[in-house]
Structure 1
């Protein structure tokens, strides 16, 4: 009889080991799910859906609203007009791109309140990202590139507008406009 009572004893450590492995596996599974959940939340914060109204979301607005925000008029003769409006956490951002006949370029530049026009090679990354978003040609690949800027008083904040222009081989001039609220 004593031998029958000794056999069940070795089974107990094995069941504890299985329980420990089960708890450990459940913990690791929950940990992995938590990390995946945090990644999903972080990705959603970094890439908000269009028209969500969240910071960084590209909103559907009409061309007149974008040109009004930037205080830039799109000429009647403009072709391939593209625009975008990005809702910001504190500062909204707009981009506008179009082509005009080359003989209208100087008149268009003089209609803008830009104080100085200068040749540039560098265009801010936020502008490049915005122009890429709307499918406009990249200003960084164009040479010579002439840029000017101006500030316009706004309701709560001023609007800083940058305009870059370049002649194209097809007899038109490309115009890129970006504007943002400034403190």
Structure 2
């Protein structure tokens, strides 16, 4: 007669316990790895185009896209976003409506302005703290500047308020 007959097999229980532990630990390990990978991916996204805001003075930001800021501009806000290939400059300011046409002409911005800002394609201003997006304003106008080398510019003008208009400039270089 075999000496183990009639006794439970202890060895089989150990394998079942190890297999059960592995089945529980495997998903937990995969979840932990995915969290670590996600953190690395988020850090990498900050280095993609349009993801890293750099503090630069307003004149330097405007010069990067070859525009000037009127001397009498008020409520000026801006963002300079360094990208992988292109840098983006977002400018927003108020200026007297009477001086708008001369300003646009001096900066080689195409006239006449087209009605509406909803289709201007300019966005991201609110995301970078440069005021409301032009597309959120009704009754404004928009245009583009003739290409100047590698610099592309879009311009939106808000409706007049108390003799002033808000100007949004979105430039890529």
> Which TM-score applies when normalising by structure 2?
0.84
How far residue 6 of structure 1 moved from its aligned partner, in angstroms, is 4.3
| Aligned counterpart in structure 1 of residue 64 of structure 2, from 69, 88, 92 | 69
Distance 1:140 1:98 in 2: 16
The aligned counterpart of 1:21 is 20
- Bigger helix fraction: 1
The aligned counterpart of 2:114 is 118
| Aligned counterpart in structure 2 of residue 143 of structure 1, from 138, 141, 148 | 138
Distance 2:76 2:97 in 1: 16
- Bigger strand fraction: 1
Alignment deviations for residues 134-164 of structure 1 (CA, whole Å, 9 cap, x no partner): 23122113233222222222xxxx1011121
Aligned residues: 169
Distance 2:153 2:126 in 1: 14
Distance 1:93 1:7 in 2: 80
Residue 177 (1) aligns with residue 169 (2): yes
How far residue 131 of structure 1 moved from its aligned partner, in angstroms, is 4.3
Bigger Cα displacement from structure 2, 37-46 vs 11-20: 37-46
Structure 2 gaps, min length 5: none
Structure 1 gaps, min length 5: none
How far residue 91 of structure 1 moved from its aligned partner, in angstroms, is 1.2
| Aligned counterpart in structure 2 of residue 98 of structure 1, from 93, 98, 108 | 93
- Structure 2 counterpart SS, 1:133: coil
> Which TM-score applies when normalising by structure 1?
0.80
